[in-house]
Every structure is written in structure tokens, then in C-alpha cells.
Amino acid sequence: MRLGLFGLNSGPCTDPAVATEVARAAEAAGFDSVWAGEHVVLPDPQAPPSPMAPQDPILDPLVALCWAAAATSSVRIATGIVILPQRNPVVLAKQVASLDVLSGGRLVLGIGVGYLEPEFRAIGANFAQRGAVTDDYLSAMESLWYSPRPVHHGPFADFEGVDAYPRPVQSRIPVVVGGRTPAAYRRAVSRGAGWFGYFLTPEQASDAVAGLRRAAGQVERPAELGRLELSVTPRGRLTAQLVAEFAAVGVDRLVLLARGETGTREDVLATVEAAAAVV
């Protein structure tokens, strides 16, 4: 079981000194990755299904991960997730390639379709068709990363006669698809190097694995993607038994919340130390 740390851009880690200390502590403890989520804006007042209060601090994930990459040397940096249909795909492709170059090829791009309609409305993004937009934007970005002569004519992104250097360091940016819907499972199987589930019990992770298996019977998985890697942020305190239960389901990586019980710097660092002792 590999370990990741989620929330490097929120809570106490919005303090740059704490973010540096936490990223370095995770790397030293043997964590393989640090993760940053995304909400550009939040509904005010807070209303379901918003996971955060509007005053809860959260940094842009790509900016925060660039800071973490500069403070570390080997730990992978991952978005968990970028809300792809809220972004301009051409600009995001440049940002992702730049971050992969600056980190020495350590980037993992987690993507999702989003679910907060007020956030989409404030940004001016297409909420109703966010799944189709996500698929089209991902294809557009892949053309800019990998095609000798990038061109894309899709329903939501359209370009030709342009190019963008530098290309990513990695021959293929690992794309991790978040979400627990049939469409997300199909997207993970057909487009992703991995799948990410947030704040799950082993039973919920097992249900997701079943959904991914059903999706594998519905869509083709390109051979170059290899085996689908499963990452989960677990519910509850990490114990050896909980690790074993997730491993039995087929989870490859547990991405722990970087907030502990109280959400202080000390608690986050204690979480890192305790998890390393368990795994």
C-alpha cells in the first residue's frame, strides 16, 4: 500500500511555511505523493453539497503544487482533482506541461467534472454538459501535449495551426479520474491511468471497484494505459486493519487528509508520522 497526502493547498497548508514543512515531511516519511484539490469559489452561505464553508481557505492547486515541487525532490505532486470543465483547456494544457517540466516529471493530473452549480455559474462554465466538456477538453489537451502538429476540432474546443512548447517531461501525463458515477467509471477505464475516490469506507471502495468492473465491460481500455491504479481517501483513523481492508478491495494508494483531528500544523505532521508507522 502506497501513501499520499491530500490537502496540501487547504487549511493549515495555505501557510507557505507549513506547506513546505508538510511536503518535506511526507517525502521523508516515504509518502509517494502529495495532493491538492480545487474549488475556485464556494457557495455563500454554505449549502449542500458544498463540502466547505465559503471562508475556508483553499489555494489554486497548480500554484500550490508548484510550491511543493520546489521544496521537494522525489515525491509526486497530484491534483485531486482539477475541475476540468471550469478551465480553459489550452491554458490548462500549458500550465500542466509547465508544472511537469518544473517538477522534473512528477505531476499526476487528477480531473473531475465538478458538482457545485453555483461555482460553475460564477465562472461562466457549462454545468449542464460538464461531462461532455470534460471529455472534449481532455482530448484537446492531449493533442497539445503529444501531437507533432496539434489540432483539435471538438464541440467545445477548437484549434489548429498552433503549437506549445515545452512538452511535458513525462511521455504520458498520468491522468486520474475522480467520481463515483457510471460516467466517471467509464472515463477512468477508457482515459485514465488511475481512479480516485474521496472520503470512502472500504465498503464504498468495494462498490466503486464493482462499478469500474462494469465499466470495463462497456468501454475499451487502450493497452498503453496499463492497469488502472486505484487511489482512495479513507474515512476514519488509519489502522493496520483499515489498510488491510482497503488492500483486500484492490486499493493501491491511500491518500490521507492533511488535517488530522484539529486541523493544526502539529496535527497534520502527526498524521504523517502515524500513517508512516502503520503502513
Q: With a cut of 50, list the residues of the chain below it in pLDDT.
A: none
Whole-number Å distance between alpha carbons of 232 and 249: 11
Q: What is the pLDDT of residue 82?
A: 98
CB 83 within 8 A of CB 184: no
Fold exhibited by the domain 2-278: TIM Barrel (3.20.20)
Q: What is the pLDDT of residue 143?
A: 98
Q: What is the pLDDT of residue 259?
A: 75
Q: What is the pLDDT of residue 147?
A: 98
Cβ neighbours of residue 118 closer than 8 Å, sequence gap 6 or more: 41, 43
Structure-derived torsion over alpha carbons of residues 138, 222, 163, 112, reported in degrees to the nearest 10: 20
Predicted model pTM: 0.97
Please name every residue paired with 197 in a beta bridge, in sequence order, or none if there are none. Answer: 232
Q: What is the pLDDT of residue 175?
A: 98
CB-count exposure of residue 149 (10 Å: 0-12, 13-18, 19+) = exposed
Whole-number Å distance between alpha carbons of 252 and 275: 15
Q: What is the pLDDT of residue 206?
A: 98
Beta strands in the chain (DSSP E): 2-6, 33-36, 76-79, 82-83, 107-112, 152-153, 158-159, 175-178, 194-200, 229-234, 253-257
Q: What is the pLDDT of residue 4?
A: 98
